[in-house]
Amino acid sequence: MSQTSLMSAANRRFALRLPSLETTAAWLLALIWIFPLLYAFWAAFHPAAYMVRFDLFAPVTLENFANAWAQAPFARYYLNTFLLVTGVVLAQFVVCTLAGFAFARFPIPGKEILFMLVLIQLFVFPEVLIVENYRIASSLGLVDTITGIGLPYVASAFGIFLLRQTFKTIPRELEDAARIEGCGWMAILLKVYVPLAKPTYLAYGLVSVSHHWNNFLWPLVVTNSVESRPLTVGLGIFSAPETGVNWATVSAATLLSIAPLLVAFLLFQRQFVQSFLRAGIR
């Protein structure tokens, strides 16, 4: 008996071993969980006629994407979402860094109470206060602007909390060394604290990007034109059942809206999961 046939015999034996009940359950659940997305993919790449009768060998087409792209200003929505997400995350980095630094390193009277006040924002989100925030946004002239969508989220309690925690763990000796070299407070923040907090910025940035890419209710309330509407709101308006857009086109539009985030997630799965974890453990 040659080496190869021995190998194949062993392989066969391995293959014949039935998977345990748990493996089967885990896989079954995984297939159920991924199925809706696969179905949307299938629908997006096949002619509308096949939505009604499933056929594995239906012709593949990109027509639905072309239709979606033509029927709604998705390019503009993309741009708006991109501007919104980058603007919000950068502004959050700046504002939360300053506040986190203050809470971590400065003797502010009543600091504990102030910090508790900040943490309240973990529960009272801009979307819960849509009614009053809309009035405030309109009195500031921010209705229907990308700034108006993002600004309520800039002073994020969550970002302040995360950065304060991180800054607190940085050894004081590093700061003292920088001070001996003649650095002022700002230089210490930028040269010592911020670089050492890079993993926190990455985690918080990822979580924040996905949150704002996906956010819907407040953007819906505060926007009313194509100029400022982000993808989610554009998609919501486009695919509302009463518009009568056909399904294949809706699923193409849906995939268009989620593609960048989905691709990023598939490429950087580990970072995503790690980030959500770091960010979630408050």
Partner 1 sequence: MLIHNADRRMQIYGALLLLPAAVLLGTFAYLPTVSTLVNSLFLPGFRGSPPEFVGLENYALLIEDRTFWRVARNNLVYALGTIPTSIALALGMALFVNARLPGRGFVRMAYFTPTILPMIAAANIWMFFYAPQIGLFNKILGTLGLSGVNWLGDPSVALGSVIVMTIWKEAGFFMIFYLAALQSIPPELKEASDLEGTGRWSFFWRVTFPLLMPTTLFVLINALINAVRVVDHLFILTKGGPNNATNLLLYYVYENAFSFFDRTYAATITVVILLVLAVVATVKFTILDRRTHYQ
For position 151 contacting partner 1 by CB under 8 A, the verdict is yes
Side chain identity at 197, as an amino acid letter?
A
- Judged by CB under 8 A, the residue of 85, 88, 118, 192 near partner 1 is 118
| Packed helices 21-44 and 247-267: angle between N→C axes, nearest 10 degrees | 130
CA pair distance 21, 232, nearest whole angstrom: 40
Range 235-264, binding partner 1 (CB under 8 A) = 235-236, 239-241, 247, 250-251, 254, 257-258, 261-262
The residue count for the chain: 282
- Judged by CB under 8 A, the residue of 108, 177, 187, 226 near partner 1 is 108
- Judged by CB under 8 A, the residue of 57, 123, 182, 225 near partner 1 is 123
- Judged by CB under 8 A, the residue of 58, 79, 83, 130 near partner 1 is 130
* String marking each residue 169-208 x if it binds partner 1 according to CB under 8 A: ----------------x-----------------------
For position 61 contacting partner 1 by CB under 8 A, the verdict is no
> How many residues form the binding site for partner 1 (CB under 8 A)?
95
For position 147 contacting partner 1 by CB under 8 A, the verdict is no
- CA proximity to 42, closest of 51, 29, 33: 51
- Judged by CB under 8 A, the residue of 72, 84, 85, 99 near partner 1 is 99
- Judged by CB under 8 A, the residue of 6, 136, 226, 267 near partner 1 is 136
Residues with Cβ within 8 Å of 213's Cβ and at least 6 positions away in sequence, in order, are 81, 85, 231, 232, 260, 261
The pair of three-digit structure tokens given for residue 48, joined into one six-digit string? 């509308």
- Judged by CB under 8 A, the residue of 5, 106, 113, 225 near partner 1 is 106
Whole-Å CA distances, 189 to 14, 159, 193, 205 = 58, 16, 5, 19
Beta carbon nearer to partner 1, 71 or 269? 269
Cβ(146)–Cβ(228) under 8 Å?
Answer: yes
For position 119 contacting partner 1 by CB under 8 A, the verdict is yes
Q: What is the DSSP letter of 145?
A: S
CA pseudo-torsion sign 117, 122, 124, 130: positive
> Which range in 55-63, 149-157, 172-180, 193-201 contacts partner 1 by CB under 8 A?
149-157
Beta carbon nearer to partner 1, 9 or 54? 54
Beta carbon nearer to partner 1, 25 or 226? 25
- Judged by CB under 8 A, the residue of 61, 121, 145, 271 near partner 1 is 121
Beta carbon nearer to partner 1, 73 or 236? 236
C-beta of 276: minimal distance to partner 1 in Å? 6
- Judged by CB under 8 A, the residue of 129, 143, 174, 183 near partner 1 is 129
CA pair distance 195, 193, nearest whole angstrom: 6
Q: Residue written as tokens 């002022």?
A: 184
For position 68 contacting partner 1 by CB under 8 A, the verdict is no
Phi, psi of 12 (to 5 degrees): -60, -45
Output the 3-class SS for 169-214: CCCHHHHHHHHHCCCCHHHHHHHHHHHHCHHHHHHHHHHHHHHHHH
For position 109 contacting partner 1 by CB under 8 A, the verdict is yes
Please, what is the Cα angle at 84 between 82 and 86, to 5 degrees? Answer: 65
